[in-house]
Amino acid sequence: MQEIWRCGCGWDEKSSWPKGGSRGSKRCRTSTKLRFLAVTELAKPTNNVELHIFCDASENGMAAVIYSRFEEEGKVECAMIGSKTRVAPLKFLTIPRLELQAAVNEARLADCIIKSHRMKIARRVFWTDSRDVIRWVRSDHQRYSQFVAFRVSELLDTTQVDEWR
| Residue range 99-145, pLDDT digits in tens | 999 999 999 999 999 888 888 888 999 999 999 999 999 998 778 89
Indicate if the pLDDT at residue 151 is higher than 90.
yes
pLDDT at 120: 84
Q: pTM for this one?
A: 0.72
Which of 102, 91, 162, 111 has its CA nearest to residue 133?
A: 102
How many whole angstroms separate alpha carbon 54 and alpha carbon 5? 28
Q: How far is CA 97 from CA 6, 44, 88, 122, in A?
A: 22, 40, 11, 30
How many whole angstroms separate alpha carbon 127 and alpha carbon 63? 12
In this prediction, residue 5 has a pLDDT band, given cuts at 50, 70 and 90, of low
Residues 100, 131 contacting (CB under 8 angstroms)? no
Domains and CATH numbers, the chain: 2-7+28-163 (3.30.420)
Q: Note the residue count of the chain.
A: 165
Indicate if the pLDDT at residue 10 is higher than 80.
no
Indicate if the pLDDT at residue 34 is higher than 80.
no
How many whole angstroms separate alpha carbon 58 and alpha carbon 139? 24
| Mean pLDDT confidence for 57-62 | 94
pLDDT at 140: 86
pLDDT at 30: 34
Indicate if the pLDDT at residue 155 is higher than 90.
yes
pLDDT at 129: 94
